[in-house]
Structure 1
Amino acid sequence: MNQQFLKEIEIGSKNALVKKRIITHYIYSGTSTITDLSKELDLSVPTVTKFIGEMCDDGYLNDYGKLETSGGRHPSLYGLNPESGYFIGVDIKKFAINIGIINFKGDMVELKMNIPYKLENSIEGMNELCKLVLNFIKKLTINKEKILNINFNISGRVNPESGYSFSLFNFEERPLAEVLTEKLKYKVTIDNDTRAMTYGEYMQGCVKVEKNIIFVNISWGIGIGIIIDGKVYNGKSGFAGEFGHVNTFDNEIICHCGKKGCLETEASGAALHRILLERIRNGENSILTERVATENENPLTLDEIISAVAKEDVLCIEIVEEIGQKLGKQIAGLINIFNPELVIIGGTLSLTEDYITQPIKTAIRKYSLNLVNKDSVIMTSKLKDHAGIVGACMLARSRMFED
């Protein structure tokens, strides 16, 4: 990609802003004609023709041939040139990371899932993360200079505009995005992990034409991603979606946020893990009983619990269903407030499929207004455990070009 164009974007020149709008259009529409593009951007056909010509010459766009029409001249279709730039996504989990790279069109070029990594909120943990990313880049066969941005998914409070993370790796006065840019020698952006999953599902998952969506991420914690009128909703400081920290239960369980009674304390992956251990140690039977005996040396993972559910372990299924009922009651409240077209159940616990989604749906019907919930389709994530990494890569690209 032309480095001059990247400098123009940073400066914010008028021509660069128009080119950003053209790239954003093609990110969402794939291909289109000059006439369609001029209508979308509210610019004259000659003006758009000039920009398209420049961007084809500079290698950002390709001419994909003539559009078949019933008569008259066949206009050319234009779209993004896949080889003009690459974008890396890094999806951080509790016991692993996923790293992927997409080309300019959004096709996944390389993907590494479940790279071993124990998440520790320390400088050493951050350095190890950077080491794994650089190792991934080193093995790529593409031109490394064409890597335009790396986006990290981080749980908790993240301000994507300022680049600050307030939950993880917050060791300096500077934004985390700036620190990682310095360490990796590539431009870095950061975003909340649930928001990234939401965007991934919106771009390449189960979303078709829907524009008002809630994505519920049921992983170690609980978060929601919100899309309103086709735009991801961040909130003023990027903190929208902290669903797991709504005060819900009258209990004495201290959440990792420091408060008691949060939704996460009884309806999350962390709650599933804690409750399962308590019940097994109190004498209830599970195929994980022997595994729990070694829990102190080698922590039990959510993947192992989900595997037990798939093997029809009665205790694990029972706890998952109870969590689904509690979550469904709270999601019913979200439906009453937002009246969404689509509610997507995603995250690690969504891999238990009907065991968690059916109790959620039952509770939604019970606790939300009938007139409102009939508008909302409840679906399980299509991308499943790939939602986060797809979203991270897509955000790495969109953050470069969207205003």
Structure 2
Amino acid sequence: MSAKAIAGKKQGSLSTDTRKKHLLKLRLQKYLYDTGSASVNDICRALAVSTPTALKLLYDLIQSRLIEKNGYGKSIGGRKPDLFCLKPGSFYVLCIDIELFTMKMVIMDNTHTESTPVTSIAHKLSKNRDDIRQIQKLAQELISRSGIDKKKLVGVSIGMPGLVDAVAGENYSYLTNDDAAMTLREAFEAVFRLPVTIQNDVKGTALAELRHGKAVGKQNALVLLMDWGVGLGIIMDGAVRHGASGFSGEMGHIPFVDNGELCYCGKHGCLETVASGQALAKMAREGILSGKNSILAELSANELDNIEAEMVIKAANRGDQYAIKLLSNIGSNMGKGISTLIQLFNPELIILGGKIAEARQYITLPMQQAINTYCMTQIREKASIVSSELGENGRLLGYATAAFDHYFDAKLMELENL
């Protein structure tokens, strides 16, 4: 019997033993999702149950085709213990990454394996909610093509830029609704008819690094996302920190240049105006217009509006000195900003991600020089700077993780409140 079916029964209709049994089964599934695989002894310790109880739970879930054996563990004397894991394809989530001008979708199973190829669609993120139906339509087409059992699709996870309060289910920058009849999460749930989680894209990136990337096992780390803008994911005491309203990490809008350029947020001199993909493209266009010698004009077919951050990185990799200088300036400004973060958070690790991070040494070397200049030696020596290895679709892993966490937590709460 599923947790949903159980929750539908009247309170008191389940015996104490039956309720406890279903709770233990669900906790076992969540434990195996979190750990990947475990032995009977591991399960006994985690669930505080006896060996016969653990074996009975495993037997029932194997019969339900939710759990399977997964090889053998390390032996400390005697035969190697059997390991058990959640069966791949037991559950699925739909992940949607909405960027400013692109939208990506993928379906992942409970092992974080892509059950469909990542689909990339040209899409401009709007301020209002007029295109929610269109997003749902495109997602439904992906679900239909996937061939998965729709009954196993347990949620939708959506990430996007802006001021996102994941708890309230709102984005206060995009897809807003002035009449506030329902939250953004409720609006998506109304069209998908599934539980929906909403998160800021940088928080999703940080969660991906914490659970699947460079920050696994780390207690204090910073995840810097350098794309069109600049965002910060904060990992403290082994958890992603969201802040009081979910808005932590708005690094791109810290004051950086006195009487600087106007930022789209309405303030002058934000870090993003001198250290972001948007700033890089703007500087490149202005340089070409002023007569700078660069292959950027050739790469853009003399259409300066076509110049984007990726094009500048491509030019630098081809030895273009002007492009290299632009990236160096961006790296120096970012390094100065990172120095402040190191002083404040004393991280053991700083992970660089996003399109600008793909410039590698052209940005990391001037960044490190700036950190050496502006940061206290005793603090900076404890912080390693690395590039993310999750790839361009890495934060989709974070979105999937958030959705599965929400699924298990919600089902456990349903059962515990019966």
**Alignment TM-score, normalising by the size of structure 1:** 0.89
1:53-85 Cα shifts (integer Å, max 9, x gaps)? 444444432233554525446543221121211
Q: Which amino acid aligns with 1:340?
A: P
Rounded to whole Å, the distance in 2 between the matches of 1:54 and 1:166 is 45
Residue 151 of structure 1 and its aligned partner are, at CA, apart by: 0.7
What is residue 281 of structure 1 aligned with on the other side?
289
Q: Does the residue aligned with 1:123 lie in a helix, a strand or coil?
A: coil
Tell me whether 1:222 sits opposite 2:239 in the alignment: no
1:124-150 Cα shifts (integer Å, max 9, x gaps)? 443433332222212112112211111
Q: Which amino acid aligns with 1:273?
A: A
Rounded to whole Å, the distance in 2 between the matches of 1:356 and 1:110 is 34
Q: Does the residue aligned with 2:267 lie in a helix, a strand or coil?
A: coil
Rounded to whole Å, the distance in 1 between the matches of 2:6 and 2:190 is 18
Answer with 56-65 or 256-265: which moved more: 56-65
1:64-119 Cα shifts (integer Å, max 9, x gaps)? 35545254465432211212111121112232222222111222222225322233
Task: Give the number of equivalent residue pairs.
Answer: 398
What is residue 352 of structure 1 aligned with on the other side?
359
Q: Does the residue aligned with 1:238 lie in a helix, a strand or coil?
A: coil
Residue 197 of structure 1 and its aligned partner are, at CA, apart by: 1.2
Structure 1 residues 260, 126: CA separation in 2 closer, same or farther (over 3 Å shift)? farther
Rounded to whole Å, the distance in 1 between the matches of 2:315 and 2:169 is 39
Q: Which amino acid aligns with 2:223?
A: F
Identity of aligned residues (%): 31
What is residue 400 of structure 1 aligned with on the other side?
407
Q: Does the residue aligned with 2:115 lie in a helix, a strand or coil?
A: strand
Alignment counterpart, residue 202 of structure 2, candidates 194, 209, 212: 194
**Alignment TM-score, normalising by the size of structure 2:** 0.86
Answer with 45-54 or 341-350: which moved more: 45-54
Q: Which amino acid aligns with 2:373?
A: K
Q: Does the residue aligned with 1:386 lie in a helix, a strand or coil?
A: coil
CA contact (8 A) 1:200 1:387 kept: yes
1:243-297 Cα shifts (integer Å, max 9, x gaps)? 111112113422121111211111111111221122211221222225375355x
What is residue 330 of structure 1 aligned with on the other side?
337
Rounded to whole Å, the distance in 1 between the matches of 2:254 and 2:45 is 44
Alignment counterpart, residue 132 of structure 1, candidates 130, 138, 157: 138
Structure 1, unmatched stretches of 5+, are none
CA contact (8 A) 1:100 1:393 kept: no
Tell me whether 1:301 sits opposite 2:313 in the alignment: no
Rounded to whole Å, the distance in 1 between the matches of 2:404 and 2:281 is 35
1:309-334 Cα shifts (integer Å, max 9, x gaps)? 33233222211110111111111111
What is residue 377 of structure 1 aligned with on the other side?
384
Rounded to whole Å, the distance in 1 between the matches of 2:49 and 2:245 is 33
Tell me whether 1:145 sits opposite 2:155 in the alignment: no
What is residue 77 of structure 1 aligned with on the other side?
83
Alignment counterpart, residue 122 of structure 2, candidates 116, 125, 130: 116
Alignment counterpart, residue 268 of structure 1, candidates 273, 276, 280: 276
Rounded to whole Å, the distance in 2 between the matches of 1:176 and 1:111 is 27
Alignment counterpart, residue 231 of structure 1, candidates 234, 239, 245: 239
Residue 390 of structure 1 and its aligned partner are, at CA, apart by: 2.3
Structure 1 residues 231, 184: CA separation in 2 closer, same or farther (over 3 Å shift)? same
Residue 20 of structure 1 and its aligned partner are, at CA, apart by: 5.1
Rounded to whole Å, the distance in 2 between the matches of 1:15 and 1:228 is 35
Structure 2, unmatched stretches of 5+, are 12-18, 411-418
Q: Does the residue aligned with 1:111 lie in a helix, a strand or coil?
A: coil
What is residue 4 of structure 2 aligned with on the other side?
4
Residue 7 of structure 1 and its aligned partner are, at CA, apart by: 4.6
Alignment counterpart, residue 37 of structure 2, candidates 25, 31, 51: 31
Rounded to whole Å, the distance in 1 between the matches of 2:127 and 2:201 is 16
Residue 208 of structure 1 and its aligned partner are, at CA, apart by: 4.4
Structure 1 residues 328, 396: CA separation in 2 closer, same or farther (over 3 Å shift)? same
The structure having more radius of gyration, on CA atoms, is 2
CA contact (8 A) 2:163 2:246 kept: yes
CA contact (8 A) 2:343 2:379 kept: yes
1:27-77 Cα shifts (integer Å, max 9, x gaps)? 332111132233234455455445444444444322335545254465432
What is residue 167 of structure 2 aligned with on the other side?
161
